[in-house]
Chains A and B, each alone.
Chain A
Amino acid sequence: MSTVRDDTSPARRDPAGDPLAGGPFADDAPDAAARARRAIEHCYAQGWTDGLPVVPCDEELLGEFLATTDRPADEVILGMAHLNRACTVRLAAINAAMAGCEPAYFPVVLAALDSLVAEGYVTRAIWQSTTGTAPCLLVNGPVRARIGLNSRGNVFGSGFRANATIGRAIRLVGINAFGIRPHELDQATQGTPAKYTCAIAENEEDSPWPPFHVEHGFAPTDSTVTAFTSRSVLHVEARHTTEPEQLLRDLADSVARTGALIHATTSACLVLSPEHAQLLGRAGWSRTDIREFVHEEAVNSRSDLRRVGKSSVSRETRWRLPDDHPDAVADDAGDLIGALAVPESLQIVVAGAPNAGVSAIIETFGPRGPTPAVTRVEATAG
């Protein structure tokens, strides 16, 4: 059952944009708004929110979510042994409902959780780390259009229920299924705005290349979610050039920034705007070509790293350190130190509006390698 308001709804028809004029509660019981508010405040009082209001979930709404999946309600979808807690399909459904998802989004939420488990960091306490990461979710395939996921303008921004609530459902799972709340088990020093939500769809239609999930072995008719545990989303505005090499060097310099080099090497996901992607595609560059070029160009000189105290690595952890640190050993590189261990440490996605040379770099957690956690959305999604 959809709760999305169509274009003929009173709120949309009201010329002044006042939601109370002939508004959403006009046809309901006179105290409907007050009752809704009491339920929302109750959820706040229980500590069940991320700071924004949640949708109160009852058995009826829960049933609508559970009806979208063949998986049993008591199946454990994500366990955290160190917390002695687990998230079942039922708990995931309750939190997706509270996040404001439509029931039809739920198979995507489940695939996102599966993808996080496959990626591996979530079960190793990353949601409690001072680093303050958040999952960035990438959705591919037909499910994007079916549930209204935005892949175009303002793709990282606000305005789209599916993007806003699917990402938020993951956060509410952390808060409510695992008790990972700030100032308690969530020890993030600063966190990231992506902790509210970060879910994008690939703009497959404006991309010069096969979709991301097809590159990783899925059929174009499959729908998938790929979760990236991420430190930040970095903005790169590059309207100045039509030379592929100049554009890619500009992006490579941001990939290699010293602040991102916590360990010996880093990893990233380039989210190219259609304009940048098409510039590269027209010039004959494949994703593999881009990866190899950026891998070669994302470098720091030894003296650049020495300037910031990162020219050696720790013997045990491989964190970057000053040369004179007692744990420091050489990093086995020459005078130019690559920021990416292998070309496959870089993933490439196309998203955004085809209107400007503005791209982004998702600064992903860990060194990574060839296989991102591309995970199929259950077919019962429709």
Chain B
Amino acid sequence: MADGILFERAGVPAVPIITSSFELSARAMAKNHGFPGYEYAIVPHPVASVSAAQLRALAHEVAPRIIEILGVEQ
């Protein structure tokens, strides 16, 4: 989250991707950096132990949400 916020403040569009288990800490981090409304994408937990195929499926699943947060017109 901190990286995403710092990128945004440096003028580089960024969307953090977190797993569902980290929502509380993601919100706390955004608040800490004075950006409580900062948007991020959420994928189901866990990621660390999934197979390559499952990871690819997660990426496909979350991609539209990332594009939406970035405000890309389709």
Contacts and interface: CB of A to CB of B under 8 A. Distances in A.
Interface of A: 82-85, 128, 179, 181, 183-187, 326
Contact of A83 (B2, B22, B24, B52): B2
A83 B32 CA distance: 7
A184 B25 contact: yes
Contacts of B2: 82-84
Contact of A185 (B32, B34, B52): B32
B2 to A, nearest CB: 5
A85 B24 contact: no
B41 to A, nearest CB: 18
A83 B65 CA distance: 26
Contacts of A179: 28, 32
Interface in B1-59: 2, 22, 24-25, 28-29, 32-34, 52
A84 B28 contact: no
A326 B56 CA distance: 13
Interface residues of B, number: 10
A187 B1 CA distance: 14
A8 to B, nearest CB: 48
A186 B32 CA distance: 13
Interface of B: 2, 22, 24-25, 28-29, 32-34, 52
Given A85-B32, A179-B32, A185-B32, A326 B52 contact: yes
Given A82-B2, A83-B2, A326-B52, A187 B32 contact: no
A185 B33 contact: no
Contacts, number: 25
A82 B16 CA distance: 15
B10 to A, nearest CB: 14
Nearest to B33: A84
17 contacts: A83-B2, A83-B29, A83-B32, A84-B33, A84-B34, A85-B32, A128-B25, A179-B28, A179-B32, A181-B28, A183-B24, A184-B24, A184-B25, A185-B28, A185-B29, A185-B32, A187-B22
Contacts of A326: 52
A184 B52 CA distance: 30
- Of A85, A183, A184, A326, most buried by chain B (CB within 10 Å of CB) is A184
Contacts of A186: 25
B33 A184 contact: no
A327 to B, nearest CB: 10
B25 A187 contact: yes
A181 B32 CA distance: 12
4 smallest CB-CB distances across A and B, nearest first, come from: A184-B28, A82-B2, A187-B25, A185-B28
